[in-house]
């Protein structure tokens, strides 16, 4: 607006409905990138014979990875199911385990699944206007339980947190959310590795 060189601050657009940025490139996660994440492997294979759907996408602003910085962006999980399991993000621990993350829901209806290394499980419901604070030490995953709408969140976490996707990819979460009789149900993950 004024004739000032903005050299250190950053301005980014994230559409509050779609979650998408017109100026930044998202990281796209298709089903083929997360075949081992959904519990119904036969449903994964059947789906991939026809298409390779985008399950979710998110933004990484590339902020410095220091404890004084804040990593932020939007995450968009698209509606749908693989077998009876709702579309969701891979989920991750932070590499620096005891670092938190906040999610503010901009659109949609979903769940935040959280699990500590010791096996404490927490689930919070996300709707537009709800903020969920994921405390340090909890792996977390967003699950879209709407049949029609993307689940769009704005997230922020400490710059030095890092991502540990490997633990979840190897072991899985202890609990899954599947559709039973048209509604979300929490079940034990049959593929969970202790």
Q: What residue ranges bind a copy of itself (CB under 8 A)?
A: 1-2, 4-16, 61, 63, 67-70, 72, 96, 98-102, 104, 106, 111-112, 114, 120-125, 128-136, 138, 154, 156-161, 184, 186
- Going by the DSSP 8-state scheme, the letter that residue 35 receives in this structure is T
Tell me whether residue 45 or residue 69 sits nearer to a copy of itself (CB atom). 69
Alpha carbon distance 163, 17 (integer Å): 26
Give the 3-state DSSP-derived string for 55-87, with helices as H, strands as E and coil as C: EEEECCCCCCCCCCCEEEEEEEECCCEECCEEC
- Tell me how far, at minimum, the Cβ of 86 lies from a copy of itself, in Å: 12
Is residue 180 a contact partner of residue 138, using CB atoms and an 8 Å limit?
no
Tell me whether residue 28 or residue 63 sits nearer to a copy of itself (CB atom). 63
- Tell me how far, at minimum, the Cβ of 69 lies from a copy of itself, in Å: 5
Integer-rounded Cα Rg, in Å, for the chain is 17
Tell me whether residue 13 or residue 45 sits nearer to a copy of itself (CB atom). 13
- What is the distance, to the nearest Å, from the Cα of residue 110 to the centroid of all Cα atoms in its chain? 10
- Tell me how far, at minimum, the Cβ of 150 lies from a copy of itself, in Å: 15
- Tell me how far, at minimum, the Cβ of 99 lies from a copy of itself, in Å: 4
Tell me whether residue 37 or residue 111 sits nearer to a copy of itself (CB atom). 111
8 φ, ψ (degrees, to nearest 5) = -105, -30
- Tell me how far, at minimum, the Cβ of 45 lies from a copy of itself, in Å: 29
């Amino acid at each position: 607006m004024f004739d000032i060189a903005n050299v250190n601050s950053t301005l980014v657009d994230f559409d509050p409905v779609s979650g998408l940025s017109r100026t930044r490139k998202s990281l796209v996660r298709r089903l083929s990138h997360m075949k081992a994440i959904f519990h119904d492997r036969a449903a994964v294979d059947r789906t991939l014979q026809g298409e390779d759907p985008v399950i979710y996408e998110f933004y990484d602003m590339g902020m410095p990875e220091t404890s004084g910085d804040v990593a932020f962006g939007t995450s968009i999980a698209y509606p749908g199911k693989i077998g009876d399991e709702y579309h969701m993000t891979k989920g991750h621990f932070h590499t620096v385990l005891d670092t938190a993350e906040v999610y503010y829901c901009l659109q949609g209806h979903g769940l935040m699944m959280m699990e500590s290394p010791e096996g404490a499980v927490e689930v919070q419901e996300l709707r537009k206007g709800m903020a969920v604070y994921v405390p340090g030490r909890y792996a977390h995953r967003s699950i879209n339980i709407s049949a029609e709408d993307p689940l769009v969140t704005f997230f922020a976490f400490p710059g030095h947190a890092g991502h540990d996707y490997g633990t979840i990819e190897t072991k899985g979460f202890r609990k899954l959310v599947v559709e039973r009789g048209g509604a979300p149900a929490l079940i034990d993950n049959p593929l969970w590795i202790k």
